[in-house]
Amino acid sequence: MRFIVLSVGIVAAAACGGGDVPPDADEALACMTSGRGDVFAVGLEHPGVGGQLDFKLMMADPAPPARYLNTWVIQVNSMSGGVVGSPATGASMTVTPFMPDHQHGAGVYKVQVEAMPDAGQYKLSQINTWMPGYWEITIDAQVGTVHDTVVYKFCIQA
């Protein structure tokens, strides 16, 4: 088992410049100056790609999202004809951090999803953006028979 874990670590390190070279801070700066990604703000809202659900980033710790482990609170509401409706309770979600420029994800951490006391709010913890650069955090949500996906995009600084 140790061999498998070590092999994955070596492959991930090699894919990102690996070895003893630290992650390139210039990549994060280039991401920020190019205008890629979302500008962080509490209340950052995106409709799902299918127009069925609306997603609002209510809280991020740290704020703005940073290297290593992040925790977010997301408000999910129903949506119809471009109009945001009532809170979406009982959602099941899969959250996937991915670094498209390097073609890798967050490693061993699985994002934990927990319903909050406020209707339609969900705590997403262990969002691992472990190196600087451009990250896409995909939230895939299922509420009853309704399914929708949103992608938050952030430049993570060194």
Nearest CA to 157 out of 69, 57, 26, 40 is that of 26
Q: Which domain holds residue 46?
A: 23-156
Q: How far apart are CA 43 and CA 52, in angstroms?
A: 19
Alpha carbon distance 135, 106 (integer Å)? 10
Is the residue at 12 inside a domain? no
Q: With cut-offs at 50, 70 and 90, classify the pLDDT of residue 25.
A: low
Question: 2: pLDDT confidence band, cut at 50, 70 and 90?
Answer: very low
Number of domains comprising the chain: 1
Sorted by sequence, the CB contacts under 8 Å of residue 10 that are 6+ apart come out as 18
Instruction: Using CB atoms within 10 Å of the CB of residue 43, give its burial: 0 to 12 exposed, 13 to 18 middle, 19+ buried.
Output: exposed
The pairing of strands 133-143 and 44-47 is unpaired
pTM score, whole prediction: 0.83
Q: Which CATH number characterizes residue 143's domain?
A: 2.60.40
> Which of 27-41, 51-65, 101-115, 118-132 has the lowest average pLDDT?
27-41
Residue 16 included in any domain: no
User: Does the pLDDT at position 155 exceed 60?
Assistant: yes
- Over residues 127-139, mean pLDDT: 96
Which DSSP symbol is given to 38? P
